[in-house]
Amino acid sequence: MQRLTFYDEFGDPCYRTKSYSSLHMKDVDTVISGSPVARKLAAYEDAEEQGRLITLPCAVGSTIYAIEKNIRTNAMETKAHIVSVVSYSGFDIDVQVDGRRYINYHGADFGKIVFLTEAEARQALEKTVGGENDG
């Protein structure tokens, strides 16, 4: 995505806005320099360019629904609460199940075996076990 901010000759973050000037009877470009908005947006854009900014599918504390394989059944639905997010390459999510077990899922698992809604998980579970839900 194209940057919205740039740095001036003093190293201050800036951004441009367009506004209508009734004095000039046309749109005029204005440069906003060093404002808190410019600094924060520039910091996010810098982090994104450096690969340090990720967008998570949900927040820490959210409930997710996962399909787990085990020995007794082909698949079962698990309701879990996200307890931490770790970023190495992409991101990993640690979840707590039933207040006891901890499981780690990768960001790439979302939409495959990890879902944000119960309905999505049930639909995927039905496909996984051929329409029969033992769990």
DSSP secondary structure of the chain: ---SEEE-TTS-EEEEEEEEETTTTEEEEEEEES-HHHHHHHHHHHHHHTT-----SS-TT-EEEEEE--SSSS-EEEEEEEEEEE-SSS-EEEEEETTTEEEEEEGGGBTTTEESSHHHHHHHHHHHTTT----
Residue 13 lies in a domain: yes
Count of the separate structural domains present in the chain: 2
Task: Write down the pLDDT at residue 108.
Answer: 84
- Give a yes or no: residue 58 inside a domain: no
pLDDT of residue 134: 47
Q: How far apart are CA 80 and CA 5, in angstroms?
A: 39
Predicted model pTM:
0.57
Assess if residue 57 is contained within a domain. Answer: no
Q: Which of 9-18, 57-66, 85-94 has the highest mean pLDDT?
A: 9-18
Same-domain pairing of 44 and 73? no
Mean pLDDT along residues 72-84: 56
Residue 56 falls inside a structural domain:
no
Residue 37 predicted with pLDDT over 70: yes
What tens digit of pLDDT does each residue of 86-119 get? 665 567 777 776 667 777 788 888 888 888 888 8
Same domain, 74 and 121: yes
Per the structure, the complete domain to which residue 23 belongs is given by: 5-49
10 is a domain residue:
yes
Can you tell me the mean pLDDT for 46-66?
A: 83
pLDDT at 3 (0 to 100): 92
Does 67 share its domain with 110?
A: yes
CA distance to 64, 95, 103, 128, per residue, from 98 (Å): 12, 10, 11, 23
